[in-house]
Amino acid sequence: MNILHLDSAITADASVSRQLTADILARLTAANPDATVTYRDLSTGVPAIDTAWFKAVRVGTDDPTPQQQAQIDTSNALLAEVQAADTLVIGLPVYNFFLPSQLKTWLDQIARAGVSFRYTAEGPEGLLTGKRAFVAYTAAGTPMGSDLDHASGYLRHMLGFLGITDVTFVAADGLAMDREAGMARAQQALEQIAA
């Protein structure tokens, strides 16, 4: 088993999503002691895509400048980590009803036509198939699946768009109102994970 472990919370050791991704990872590696784990902390920054990125990475060039080559190399490295993994463990703390910007930027970097998805006569087709994802959803006041939650549905959609349709959420929500109950719900979901 090759696991890609992604954290995105900006709250360091106080992060509940980091605690939950660690718990998920512990369950997976206990059941699969030979598993390899690649870790990336997105909170340290992921370069945003822009016009220069588009010209370098999406349009491409036969003679990239050093800056363009750096953009290509970064995007390729992020995508290669996903391609090499069969299991993703993703921390999804909800900030202002949505994903952390670093997690959104990571998705922007890896969503590449012809590489991670392609357009067909029947519509887009994800190319990152054969993978599963476990998502640690945490929110102080945004119940997962509610009208306020614009994060979980978007992440599920984007993963599916890229071909990752086996997605399991472990949610600790409503933490500001009743932390104990939110953590209990997450623990119950953790116990359902089949490693």
CATH of the domain at 80: 3.40.50.360
Q: CB–CB of 139/173 below 8 Å?
A: yes
| Alpha-carbon distances of 70 from 57, 74, 121, rounded to whole Å | 10, 6, 34
Confidence of residue 194 (pLDDT cuts 50, 70, 90): low
- How far separated are the first and last CA of the chain, in Å rounded? 10
Binding-site entries: 15-17
What percent of the chain lies above the pLDDT cut of 70?
Answer: 99
pLDDT exceeds cutoff 90 at 131: yes
Give the pLDDT score at 4.
98
Binding-site entries for FMN: 15-17
pLDDT exceeds cutoff 90 at 195: no
Provide the residue range defining the domain that includes 169: 2-191
Neighbours of 40 (CB within 10 A): 16
Task: Kindly tell me the sign of the dihedral angle through the C-alpha atoms of 106, 109, 115, 121.
Answer: positive
Q: CB–CB of 85/1 below 8 Å?
A: no
Rounded Cα gap, residues 121 and 125, in angstroms: 10
Confidence of residue 176 (pLDDT cuts 50, 70, 90): confident
The reported pTM is 0.94
> Of 92, 109, 89, which is closest to residue 150 (Cα–Cα)?
92
The residue with greater pLDDT, 193 or 85, is 85
Confidence of residue 191 (pLDDT cuts 50, 70, 90): confident
pLDDT exceeds cutoff 90 at 54: yes
pLDDT exceeds cutoff 60 at 124: yes
Number of domains in the chain: 1
